[in-house]
């Protein structure tokens, strides 16, 4: 298959003349992935990308291809795409989140130029999912995933599904197309289903001249084992089985991938080949668990949309892969839910490669359309999702309900049946906010928004599901319950992180949740009915550019491996009501935190495993900023130091004016007992609570693991800022289309902490073989922003210059 992403023309206004090659109106050259409209960062008008646009491309088809069958494949065109070849309308596809193929052998001009045109409707057409009501995300528009051209033999392998009933065994169910034209039989019906009951018998018919061979190739291309079969001539279908003791399983820890290569022969002549990625793993369920290869795995994930600033859905492969990298390496998750639609195969390929477990689902948001047409499309969406995504070992369950829709047994019986028939290897689920709703799926997925900050992190299983025998998942939590911006106060960002930690802790502690996907990976633009007034949902643990908020560390700190240390406060009393910093948390995977004030040891803090029964690394509470200092600095004896520390600590926490009576009494007693004057008290308060006057207070938090300092954070008032930029990659390569790099930018203080109130304008300029994507100027929100650059087709060096005053 060959990509044809370059050399397209685009018009914002489709006309019939456009598909016959006429040049009227405004037409510009574009490359795929493409967005119909570049958008601002905030206050996006969702009508601005809703249009009926046109794409067209000239394709030269050499004479040498005559006799071959020709196909076009679109991986993602949002939302209703009608394809024309040489002016002839061929097909209409009505789902912006799955791919489609169309054959154009008959319409093709061999040995000449062919005009491919696409009429693309990106309006929110209520006739198809996800449309018809409100949606809490933008649906954008464009041919935003790759387009392919393919020539195949007249008889070819249309599809194959490689199932792995055990970690050492494969069943390959395949479908040939075109035998009819050659042999006068009836193979390759329009039905894409390669798993009808009849096919499972895999019978071979005598006298058929075709032979299909399957070879299992490892990453070096060496064949581990093979098998061959004479396909059934009537249906063109068949089933092969392979097994080998040498096969290594695919698991989240060690995601070994193989290629299943199918070759079709006729009288020993090779006619066609098809390759599928395979990961050998099984999925099974117990009452409370999901098992991969028989081993329970708690799914620790986030929900992910597929959008980026400025360009919506339209980014090339590397940035799709980059999100998977961030999920695994930065957020340290083992799972992701592709809310609320199937996402790019590039993203899924990277999940396959990294061992990230994926919960994917059909497009939709709360609404089920009334019309038959809408429901039929919904069922078709299940079919397309399963057939197109079942070769990804990372996908471990199918979401076959419209996200958060009401019960509709009639519809959902059909979606469940469809998924199970097309894929007997994976469980179904479907996301609801309803408790005890009709459970037709194998797993109950529940958006648990019950946590308010003061109550338990999650509801109990018995209060949520109607069937205790099936596993329960938290498919969303937090989100709109506590929107938090990167430029919110430290207190709010800390509480955001704690809420994420509390829900996860509750889900992990009770042994009755199979996983927890919190809402969500990054902030996202949305429709007017949602968000913070600027049509942005600040629900992410990272911002739109994937810059981390404090909550990112609540997740990342759960994993061992590279040190994680995030301190939830800048330690500036002036940012807290009444100057009271109160409780500070360290989100870390260390064993304890050692706190130093101006290099003098204050105290050590460890995790409270009673409060946090589920997390492997609970947030560590730091609530004593005086610690040893009264002894070491003021030379107070133990009992005096302890009493005064208590009183000063309480003064710091509640403020002098609101000191609880018990502490007032303690303080009175201490002053009498140790002959402290008012001015002594005032001095001690200033030095140990207010921390004002004198030298700037420098707090150092050392993260200690196995007795060693593995990370250290220093917080102090800072006036020295610098820019920090991190590119997803700097060696950009034009391959199947342009390449694009994400550049995340932060303004850091002299101790390399994000200067979260440095909301400075940052400007971008490029030179050489690069093009800037989006705005030339962006405000550092919460001290963080980003930009994107893409290749122009030229070879050479390109420079992005980032400046801030």
Q: How far is the CB of 48 from ligand GAL (least distance, A)?
A: 21
> What is the rounded distance in angstroms from the CA atom of residue 155 to the CA atom of residue 152?
8
* Active site (annotated) includes residue 404: yes
Q: Which residues does residue 520 pair with via DSSP β-bridges, in sequence order?
A: none
Q: In terms of CB distance, is 215 or 448 closer to ligand GAL?
A: 448
# binding residues, ligand GAL (CB under 6 A): 11
Contact stretch for ligand GAL (CB under 6 A) within 165-173, 419-427, 472-480, 687-695: 472-480
Lateral strand order in the sheet of 620-622: 565-567, 584-588, 620-622
Burial 313-347 (b: 16+ CB within 10 A, else e): bbbbbbbbbbbbbbbbebbbbbbbbbbbbbbbbbb
* Site track 179-218 with ligand GAL (rule: CB under 6 A), x = hit: ----------------------------------------
Closest CB 137 distance from ligand GAL, rounded Å: 7
From the CB of 175, what's the least distance to ligand GAL, in Å?
Answer: 36
Both tokens of 114, joined, read 């062919």
CB of 130 to ligand GAL, least distance (A): 10
User: Residues 534-553: x/- map of binding to ligand GAL (CB under 6 A)?
Assistant: -----x--------------
- Single out the residue of 421, 436, 480, 492 in contact with ligand GAL (rule: CB under 6 A): 480
Q: How far is the CB of 354 from ligand GAL (least distance, A)?
A: 25
Residue 339 or 360 having the CB closest to ligand GAL: 339
d(CA 558, CA 327): 13
Q: Work out how close the CB of 761 gets to ligand GAL at its nearest, in angstroms, rounded to a whole number.
A: 30
CB of 432 to ligand GAL, least distance (A): 10
Q: Pick between residue 250 and residue 365 the one whose CB is nearest to ligand GAL.
A: 365
Q: Does 46 bind ligand GAL (CB under 6 A)?
A: no
CB 132 within 8 A of CB 122: no
Which one of residues 519, 699, 738, 788 is an interface residue with ligand GAL (CB under 6 A)? 519
How many other C-beta atoms lie within 10 A of the C-beta of residue 425?
A: 16
Stretch that binds ligand GAL, among 280-288, 473-481, 604-612, 780-788 (CB under 6 A): 473-481
Q: Supply 499's token pair.
A: 């809420």
Q: Pick from 316, 479, 548, 783 the residue near ligand GAL by CB under 6 A.
A: 479
Q: Could you say which of 423, 441, 476, 505 contacts ligand GAL (CB under 6 A)?
A: 476
Within 10 angstroms of residue 302's Cβ, the number of other Cβ atoms is 26
Compute how many other C-beta atoms are within 10 angstroms of the C-beta atom of residue 391: 20
Does 404 help bind ligand GAL (rule: CB under 6 A)? yes
| Nearest alpha-carbon partner for 738 in 696, 772, 706, 703 | 772
Query: What's the CA gap between 350 and 708, in Å, rounded?
Result: 35
Rounded least distance, CB 403 to ligand GAL, Å:
5
Q: Among 317, 361, 441, 476, which one carries the catalytic annotation?
A: 476
CA distance 575 to 379: 53
> Tokens standing for 221?
């291309």
From residue 81 to residue 120, what is the string marking binding to ligand GAL with x (rule CB under 6 A)?
----------------------------------------
Cβ 375 vs Cβ 382: under 8 Å: no
Q: In this chain, which stretch among 474-482, 704-712, 732-740, 767-775 interacts with ligand GAL, using CB under 6 A?
A: 474-482
Q: How many CB atoms lie under 10 A from the CB of residue 2?
A: 8
Nearer to ligand GAL, 99 or 479 (CB): 479
The residue among 56 and 340 lying less far from ligand GAL, judged by its C-beta, is 340
Instruction: Identify which of residues 239 and 523 has a Cβ nearer to ligand GAL in the complex.
Output: 523
Judged by beta carbon, residue 173 or residue 541, the one nearer ligand GAL is 541
DSSP H or E run through 715: strand 708-715
How far is 783 from 748, CA to CA, in rounded Å?
Answer: 8
Q: Please report where in the chains the tokens 């369920």 appear, as a residue.
A: 285
Check residue 219 and give left, alpha or beta (phi > 0: left; psi -120 to 50: alpha).
Answer: alpha
Residues sharing a CB contact under 8 Å with residue 302, sequence separation 6 or more, in sequence order:
327, 331, 333, 336, 337, 517, 518, 519, 520, 521, 541, 555
The distance of closest approach from Cβ of residue 50 to ligand GAL in the complex, given in angstroms and rounded to an integer, is 20
Instruction: Report the nearest approach of ligand GAL to the CB of residue 135 (Å).
Output: 8
Contact track, ligand GAL, 128-167, x by CB under 6 A: --------x-------------------------------
The footprint of ligand GAL on residues 420-459 (CB under 6 A) is 447
- Cβ neighbours for 671, distance < 8 A, ≥ 6 positions apart: 677, 681
- Residue 749 touches ligand GAL, criterion: CB under 6 A: no
- Rounded least distance, CB 404 to ligand GAL, Å: 5
The string of DSSP codes covering 595-618 is EEETTEEEEEE---TTT-SS-SSP
Distance, in Å, from the CA atom of 369 to the CA atom of 374, rounded to the nearest integer, reads 6
Q: Binding pattern to ligand GAL, positions 686-725, x when CB under 6 A?
A: ----------------------------------------
Sequence-distant (6+) residues with CB within 8 A of 223 are 215, 216, 217
Rounded Cα gap, residues 378 and 363, in angstroms = 8
476 in catalytic set: yes
Of the candidates 476, 483, 407, 467, which has an alpha carbon nearest to the alpha carbon of residue 448? 476
Minimum CB separation from ligand GAL for residue 67, in Å?
50
Taking contact as CB under 6 A, which single stretch among the options 293-301, 386-394, 475-483, 564-572 is the one that binds ligand GAL? 475-483
Which residue number is nearest to ligand GAL in terms of Cβ?
479
C-alpha–C-alpha distance, residues 716 and 598, integer Å: 10
- Nearest residue (CB) to ligand GAL, 202 versus 479: 479
Contact map string, positions 298 to 337, toward ligand GAL, x by CB under 6 A? ----------------------------------------
Site string for ligand GAL, 337-376 (x = CB under 6 A): --xx------------------------------------
- Please identify which residue in 5, 46, 53, 403 interacts with ligand GAL, judged by CB under 6 A: 403
Three-state secondary structure of 134-150? CCCCCCCCEECCCEEEE
Q: Of the residues 233, 289, 384, 404, which is catalytic?
A: 404
Give the residue with the Cβ less far from ligand GAL, 136 or 317: 136
Query: What are phi and psi for residue 468, nearest 5 degrees?
Result: -65, -15
**Cβ-Cβ contacts under 8 Å for 129 (sequence gap 6 or more):** 95, 362, 363, 364, 369, 374, 377, 378, 381, 402
Q: Provide, rounded to whole angstroms, the least separation between the CB of residue 125 and ligand GAL.
A: 20
Choose one: 159-167, 476-484, 696-704, 738-746; the region binding ligand GAL (CB under 6 A). 476-484
From the CB of residue 582, how many other CB atoms can be counted at a distance below 10 Å? 14
d(Cα 304, Cα 678) in Å, to the nearest integer? Answer: 57
Measured N-to-C along each axis, helices 678-685 and 638-654 cross at an angle, to the nearest 10 degrees, of: 70
Residues classed as catalytic:
404, 476
Give me the residues that bind ligand GAL (CB under 6 A), please: 136, 339-340, 403-404, 447, 476, 479-480, 519, 539
């Amino acid at each position: 298959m060959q990509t044809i992403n370059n050399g397209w023309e685009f018009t914002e206004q489709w006309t019939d003349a456009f598909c016959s090659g006429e040049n009227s109106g405004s037409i510009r050259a574009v490359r795929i992935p493409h967005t119909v409209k570049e958008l601002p960062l905030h206050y996006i008008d969702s009508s601005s990308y809703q249009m009926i646009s046109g794409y067209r491309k000239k394709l030269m088809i050499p004479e040498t291809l005559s006799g071959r069958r020709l196909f076009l494949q679109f991986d993602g065109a949002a939302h209703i795409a009608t394809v024309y070849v040489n002016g002839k309308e061929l097909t209409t596809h009505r789902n912006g989140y799955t791919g489609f193929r169309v054959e154009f052998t008959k319409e093709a001009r061999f040995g000449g130029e062919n005009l491919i045109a696409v009429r693309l409707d990106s309006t929110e057409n209520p006739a198809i999912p996800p449309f018809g009501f409100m949606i809490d995300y933008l649906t954008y528009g464009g041919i935003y995933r790759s387009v392919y051209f393919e020539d195949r033999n007249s008889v070819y392998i249309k599809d194959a599904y490689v199932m792995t009933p055990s970690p050492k065994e494969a069943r390959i169910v395949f479908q040939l197309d075109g035998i009819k034209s050659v042999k006068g039989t009836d193979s390759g019906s329009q039905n894409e289903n390669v798993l009808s009951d009849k096919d499972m018998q895999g019978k071979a018919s005598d006298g058929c001249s075709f032979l299909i061979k399957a070879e299992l190739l490892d990453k070096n291309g060496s064949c581990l084992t093979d098998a061959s079969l004479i396909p059934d001539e009537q249906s063109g279908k068949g089933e092969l089985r392979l097994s080998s003791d040498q096969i290594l399983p695919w698991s989240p820890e060690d995601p070994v991938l193989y290629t299943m290569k199918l070759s079709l022969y006729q009288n020993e002549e090779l006619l066609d080949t098809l390759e599928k990625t395979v990961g050998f793993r099984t999925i099974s369920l117990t009452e409370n668990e999901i098992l991969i290869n028989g081993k329970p795995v708690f799914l620790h994930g986030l929900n992910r949309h597929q959008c980026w600033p400025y360009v919506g859905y339209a980014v090339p492969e590397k940035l799709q892969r980059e999100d998977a990298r961030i999920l695994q390496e930065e957020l340290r998750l083992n799972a992701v839910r592709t809310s609320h639609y199937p996402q790019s195969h590039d993203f899924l390929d990277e999940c396959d490669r990294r061992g990230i477990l994926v919960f994917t689902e059909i497009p939709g948001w709360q609404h089920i359309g009334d019309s038959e047409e809408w429901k039929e499309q919904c069922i078709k969406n299940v079919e397309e999702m399963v057939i197109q995504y079942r070769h990804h070992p990372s996908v471990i369950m199918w979401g076959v309900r419209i996200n958060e829709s009401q019960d509709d047994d009639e519809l959902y019986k059909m979606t469940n049946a469809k998924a199970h028939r097309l894929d007997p290897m994976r469980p179904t689920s479907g996301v609801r906010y309803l408790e005890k709703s009709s459970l037709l799926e194998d797993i109950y997925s529940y958006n648990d928004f019950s946590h308010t900050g003061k109550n338990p992190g999650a509801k109990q299983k018995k209060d949520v599901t109607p069937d205790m025998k099936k596993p329960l998942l938290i498919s969303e939590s937090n989100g709109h319950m506590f929107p938090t911006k990167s430029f919110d106060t430290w207190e709010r960002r800390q509480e955001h992180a704690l809420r994420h930690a509390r829900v996860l802790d509750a889900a992990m502690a009770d042994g009755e949740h199979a996983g927890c996907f919190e809402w969500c990976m990054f902030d996202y633009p949305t429709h007017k009915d949602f968000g913070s007034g600027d049509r942005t949902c600040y629900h992410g643990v990272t911002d739109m550019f994937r810059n981390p908020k404090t909550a990112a560390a609540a997740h990342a700190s759960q994993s061992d491996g590279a040190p994680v240390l995030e301190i939830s406060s800048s330690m500036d009393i002036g940012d807290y009501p009444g100057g009271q910093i109160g409780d500070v948390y360290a989100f870390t995977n260390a064993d304890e935190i050692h706190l130093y004030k101006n290099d003098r040891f204050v105290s050590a803090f460890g995790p409270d495993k009673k409060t946090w029964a589920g997390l492997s690394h609970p947030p560590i509470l730091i609530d004593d900023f005086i610690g040893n200092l009264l002894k070491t600095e003021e030379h107070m004896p133990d009992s005096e130091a302890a009493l005064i520390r208590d009183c000063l600590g309480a003064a710091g926490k509640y403020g002098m004016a609101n000191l609880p009576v018990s502490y007032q009494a303690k303080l009175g007693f201490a002053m009498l007992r140790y002959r402290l004057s008012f001015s002594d008290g005032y001095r001690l308060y200033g030095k140990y609570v207010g921390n004002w006057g004198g030298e700037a207070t420098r707090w150092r938090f050392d993260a200690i693991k196995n007795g060693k300092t593995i990370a250290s954070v220093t917080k102090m008032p800072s006036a020295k800022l610098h820019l920090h930029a991190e590119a997803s990659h700097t060696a950009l390569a034009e391959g199947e289309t342009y390449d694009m790099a994400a550049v995340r930018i932060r303004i850091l203080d002299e101790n390399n902490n994000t200067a979260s109130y440095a909301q400075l304008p940052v400007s971008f300029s490029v030179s050489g073989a690069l093009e800037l994507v989006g705005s030339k100027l962006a405000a550092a929100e919460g001290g963080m922003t980003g930009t994107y650059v893409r290749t122009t087709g030229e070879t050479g060096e390109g420079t992005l210059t980032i400046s801030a005053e």
